[in-house]
Amino acid sequence: MRKQVYQKAGALLMVALLATASSCGALEEQGEQVNEQAAVLRVMNFDGGLGGEWLKDLEEKFEAAHANDTNWEKGKVGVDIVIDPLKFTGDSLGASIATHKDDVFFTEGNSYYNFVTSGWVKDITDVVTEVNGYDGKTIESKLDDEVRDFFKTNDNKYYALPFYSAYEGINYDIDLFDDMSFYFEGDTTKEGTPAKYVTEAGEKVYSFTDLSGTRSAGPNGKAGDYDDGLPATYEQFYAMCDNMKMQGVTPMLWNNHAFYMSYFMGSLQADYEGKDAMMANFTFGDAKNKTIEIVDGFNEDGTPNIVETTISNTNGYEVYSQAGRYYALDFVNTMIQEGYVSTKAFGSNENGIVAQTDFLNGKYSEKKETVAMLIEGTWWENEADAVFKTLEGTEGAKASRKNRRLGFMPFPKATEEKIGEPLTTMNINQTAIFVKSSISDERYQLAKEWIKFVLSDAGLNTFTKYTNTSMLYNYQIEDEIFNELSPYGKSVYEIKQNSIEVYPASKNELFLSNSGFFSMHTDAYWNSSYLVNGTMKMRNSPITPFREKEATPIEYFEGVRKYAEDNWERNFSKYFEK
């Protein structure tokens, strides 16, 4: 009797274990049918704002192109790419990568050299340097110099390649700008300058127009191109916000993720500093141009006093005194103090999706705020796809993603002297495509072929077609694809074509060995310490201190420098120049 009980219990346990095991398999089957007759390659795709439609399309094309291949795995005909959408990012991925079921990874937030040093990733040098059969070019030739230099290790090998490119910045509603005339009218007597007129009170104010009017030249100082009528300076930006407020429109919204604002302010800083000076934040003693401009106190009129200094690992904290940081802080402070930003932006419920929804929905409801601009990364439009679809259902075709005119605004310049300087954009994330080192030899060859296919011109165009953004490579968008892009996608492409990009990484040992600390994603980039009622406090973001008038931009800025300098030696002396 007891034996029977044990047998039944044992059988029950086995059934339970098998059910658990098979349910995992069943789930996978529900996601994507695995073709056991073909050579299988598993691909993890970061399941974030850019989604996976683009990869699905490439998967189908790749499988069709290699349907009759027999060379990838003995006894197998054709290939089967299995896409695994996961939110697995950062260095924590490395610890489990050896036993991870996926072979190839498209992800973000990883420290490339940590992966190389830890032996987690496979050498893909030939993929990068050999001519790609799919388009007759090498992948290496499509990389910017800085990006190439970063990914090529000191022994001239590549273990990963960059994935997508994304900027954080001001996204604006072109339809709203047009309908409510938020563009600066051009002064026809002085080319490129916004028109002003004198009110009865004797106040000089700007004149605004819609898209059909004569618009000012915008921040690049050239009339007749993509940025016409947009604010050229911070001062003009504030005037535009005043105009919006007067017409009952909330100028700005952002979400409650602190690191988004860190990215945004870092991007403003990059545009002020330009590429070389901005790169000093990541290259320190290995900077191409070691002379950088920093703020040495403030003049009586509140403007920063700029001096030059030579940057090294030893005095790397000097980058925290760059004027671009100050102007970025001042810009955000003005947005808050002048009430240009919706109070929703400070709420714990205003996450990324909610803020996107509020931005897109606002103008269709009288009960909601109409919002003109949203601080977000360029992936946001794709992320908000469901919101567009809902709006299309309720508001009609004009509200669809395809028809709604939205754009990415080139940054206004901090000062008038900067007008005409090229736009500098910041690739906010370190992204990567790599193959795990524990991959089998057979799959390794297939993985390399797959990467070549994805990074061919056609593959890159497919990415752009679906996501309305770009990969971090130089490639021409085909006319047919360009015409299919949403207005926002076209705008992002224009920005890419007209800007100088910064990639926030370098091979400097101080940077690489402390990459977590120097990432804009962490709060260390804007940490500041200053006195509040006699107590030295540390803040990790200026938003609340500005909102509560705890610190002025100058106090916060000086605190950023102080915090960096106070902690520099004890944390990084190992990397100081001898």
Partner 1 sequence: MKEQVKKTGFMKKRRQDLLFYIAFMAFPVIQFIVFYVVKNFNSFVLAFQGYDAFQGYYFNGLENFKKVFYDIAHEYYFKTGIRNSLIHYGIGLVIGLPLGLTFSYYIYKKFLMSEIFKVILFLPSVVSIVVMQIIWANVMDGMIPEIYFAKTGNTMLGLMANSKTRFLYLELFNIWVSFGGSMLYYVGAMARIPDSLIEAAELDGASLWEEFFQVVIPLTWSTVKTLLVVGIAGIFTADLNLYLFYGTGAETDAYIVGYNLLRLTVTSKLDGYPYISAFGMILTAVTMILTFAMRFVLEKYTWEDVEF
Among 25, 347, 393, 396, interactor with partner 1 by CB under 8 A: 347
Question: Rule CB under 8 A: is residue 90 a binding residue for partner 1?
Answer: yes
CA-to-CA distance for 556 and 552, rounded, in angstroms? Answer: 6
Please name the helix (run of DSSP H) or strand (run of DSSP E) that holds residue 96, with its range, or none: helix 92-97
CA-to-CA distance for 169 and 227, rounded, in angstroms? Answer: 15
Question: Rule CB under 8 A: is residue 213 a binding residue for partner 1?
Answer: no
Strand segments (E) across 398-498? 406-409, 423-426, 431-435, 470-471
- Please enumerate in sequence order all residues whose Cβ is within 8 A of that of 508, keeping only pairs 6 or more positions apart, or say none: 282, 283, 284, 285, 286, 313
Question: Rule CB under 8 A: is residue 257 a binding residue for partner 1?
Answer: yes
CA-to-CA distance for 385 and 402, rounded, in angstroms? Answer: 10
Q: How far is CA 362 from the centre of its chain?
A: 25
Task: For CA atoms 551, 555, 556, 562, give the dihedral sign.
Answer: negative
Q: Is 346 exposed, middle or buried (0-12, 13-18, 19+ CB in 10 A)?
A: middle
Question: Rule CB under 8 A: is residue 408 a binding residue for partner 1?
Answer: no
Q: Is 14 exposed, middle or buried (0-12, 13-18, 19+ CB in 10 A)?
A: exposed
Question: Rule CB under 8 A: is residue 343 a binding residue for partner 1?
Answer: yes
Stretch that binds partner 1, among 65-73, 203-211, 431-439, 508-516 (CB under 8 A): 508-516
Nearer to partner 1, 477 or 564 (CB): 564
Stretch that binds partner 1, among 173-181, 393-401, 487-495, 517-525 (CB under 8 A): 517-525
CA-to-CA distance for 389 and 399, rounded, in angstroms? Answer: 8
- Please enumerate in sequence order all residues whose Cβ is within 8 A of that of 548, keeping only pairs 6 or more positions apart, or say none: none
Question: Rule CB under 8 A: is residue 258 a binding residue for partner 1?
Answer: yes
The crossing angle, in degrees rounded to 10, of helices 487-497 and 457-467 is: 130
Among 47, 91, 235, 276, interactor with partner 1 by CB under 8 A: 91
Give the single-character DSSP code of 523.
Answer: G
Question: Rule CB under 8 A: is residue 437 a binding residue for partner 1?
Answer: no
Question: Rule CB under 8 A: is residue 98 a binding residue for partner 1?
Answer: no
Question: Rule CB under 8 A: is residue 151 a binding residue for partner 1?
Answer: no
- Please enumerate in sequence order all residues whose Cβ is within 8 A of that of 190, keeping only pairs 6 or more positions apart, or say none: none
Question: Rule CB under 8 A: is residue 400 a binding residue for partner 1?
Answer: no
Q: Is 394 exposed, middle or buried (0-12, 13-18, 19+ CB in 10 A)?
A: exposed
> Quick one: which of 224, 163, 193, 553 has its CA closest to 379?
163
Q: What is the CA radius of gyration of the chain?
A: 26
Question: Rule CB under 8 A: is residue 150 a binding residue for partner 1?
Answer: no
Among 32, 537, 552, 554, interactor with partner 1 by CB under 8 A: 537
- Please enumerate in sequence order all residues whose Cβ is within 8 A of that of 131, keeping only pairs 6 or more positions apart, or say none: 137, 138
Question: Rule CB under 8 A: is residue 245 a binding residue for partner 1?
Answer: no
- Please enumerate in sequence order all residues whose Cβ is within 8 A of that of 200, keeping only pairs 6 or more positions apart, or say none: none
Task: For CA atoms 368, 374, 376, 378, give the dihedral sign.
Answer: positive
Among 142, 452, 519, 520, interactor with partner 1 by CB under 8 A: 519
Q: How many residues bind partner 1 (CB under 8 A)?
A: 47
- Please enumerate in sequence order all residues whose Cβ is within 8 A of that of 376, keeping only pairs 6 or more positions apart, or say none: 168, 169, 171, 254, 255, 260, 352, 355, 356
Nearer to partner 1, 403 or 514 (CB): 514
Stretch that binds partner 1, among 184-192, 280-288, 410-418, 530-538 (CB under 8 A): 530-538
DSSP β-ladder status, 39-46 and 79-86? parallel
Stretch that binds partner 1, among 166-174, 340-348, 417-425, 461-469 (CB under 8 A): 340-348
Nearer to partner 1, 64 or 538 (CB): 538
The first and second tokens of residue 554, run together, are 């100058």
CB of 537 to partner 1, least distance (A): 5
Among 114, 138, 247, 309, interactor with partner 1 by CB under 8 A: 114
Among 146, 228, 286, 350, interactor with partner 1 by CB under 8 A: 350
Question: Rule CB under 8 A: is residue 211 a binding residue for partner 1?
Answer: no
Stretch that binds partner 1, among 86-94, 167-175, 184-192, 325-333 (CB under 8 A): 86-94
Stretch that binds partner 1, among 111-119, 186-194, 399-407, 461-469 (CB under 8 A): 111-119
300-331 core/surface letters (b: 16 or more CB in 10 A; e: else):
eeeebeeeeeebbbbbbbbbbbbbbbbbbbbb
CA-to-CA distance for 197 and 210, rounded, in angstroms? Answer: 17
> Quick one: which of 548, 536, 95 has its CA closest to 343?
548
Q: Segment 557-576, which members bind partner 1 (CB under 8 A)?
A: 570-571
Question: Rule CB under 8 A: is residue 484 a binding residue for partner 1?
Answer: no
Question: Rule CB under 8 A: is residue 107 a binding residue for partner 1?
Answer: no
Stretch that binds partner 1, among 140-148, 275-283, 419-427, 541-549 (CB under 8 A): 541-549
Stretch that binds partner 1, among 187-195, 253-261, 309-317, 489-497 (CB under 8 A): 253-261
Question: Rule CB under 8 A: is residue 302 a binding residue for partner 1?
Answer: no
Stretch that binds partner 1, among 98-106, 136-144, 170-178, 513-521 (CB under 8 A): 513-521
Nearer to partner 1, 113 or 453 (CB): 113
Nearer to partner 1, 91 or 276 (CB): 91
Nearer to partner 1, 437 or 522 (CB): 522
Nearer to partner 1, 56 or 507 (CB): 507
Nearer to partner 1, 194 or 545 (CB): 545
Stretch that binds partner 1, among 141-149, 281-289, 346-354, 488-496 (CB under 8 A): 346-354
Question: Rule CB under 8 A: is residue 256 a binding residue for partner 1?
Answer: yes
Among 86, 540, 555, 565, interactor with partner 1 by CB under 8 A: 540
Decide if 198 contacts 204 (C-beta within 8 A): yes
Question: Rule CB under 8 A: is residue 514 a binding residue for partner 1?
Answer: yes
Interacting residues with partner 1 (CB under 8 A): 2-3, 6, 9-10, 13, 90-91, 94, 111, 113-114, 117-118, 256-259, 343-344, 346-350, 509, 512-517, 519, 521-523, 529, 536-541, 544, 548, 570-571
